[in-house]
Every structure is written in structure tokens, then in C-alpha cells.
Amino acid sequence: MMIFMWLIFIFMFIVGNLIFVLKHKHLLIVLLSLEFIVLSIFFLMLIFLSYIEYDMYMLMLFLVFSVCEGALGLSILVSLIRTHGNDYFQGFNLL
């Protein structure tokens, strides 16, 4: 059963990274893939901490930081859409 959970984590992490690398045209897709990677890391921490029978306080702390990261990403997305009209990376100059 433990090997099956590790395979699920590895599959989730690889799929999240592939989406991040291959679908980098829109900011919203990049943010969703980053959240998927964070979710897979959360799953890994859940497996590892339950395996060693450790306190789950670190999971709550990790969840708080991932929610803050998601809110920051959404605020950047909203400000980008308000200033440029879309979420394409080619639509604005980074310089």
C-alpha cells in the first residue's frame, strides 16, 4: 500500500512539472500547475509524517503558506488582466 502512495505522489509531481514546462503561455495555467505541485508535496508530507508517526503541525503550517502563495498568485493574475487585458506572457514586456 505504501508503494502505491509513493507512485501516486511521483505521478502527481511529474504531471505538475510537465504542465508547468509545456503549457507556459497563460499565467492561469502556470498558477494551476504550481498549485498541483504544492498539492503533491502536501501529499508526500502527509505520507511521510504519518509513516514516522510525527505530529501533523508541519502540515498545517505548509497549508497556510501554500494558501498565501495561491492568494498572491491570484492577485498578480488580477492585476495583470486589469493592466494588459489578458494573461498571455507575450502580451507584456518584462523589461
> Tell me: the pLDDT tens digits for 29-70?
999 999 999 999 999 999 888 888 888 888 999 999 999 999
* Positive or negative: CA dihedral 22, 23, 27, 31: negative
CATH number of 2-84: 1.10.287
- How many CB atoms neighbour CB 86 within 10 A? 12
Single pTM value for the model: 0.85
Residue spans per domain, the chain: 2-84
By the 8 A CB rule, do 77 and 31 touch?
yes
DSSP assigned state of 22: H
Q: Which residue has the higher pLDDT, 60 or 87?
A: 60
CA dihedral of residues 85, 91, 94, 95 (deg, nearest 10): -100
Question: Please, which pLDDT band fits residue 94 given cuts at 50, 70 and 90?
Answer: low
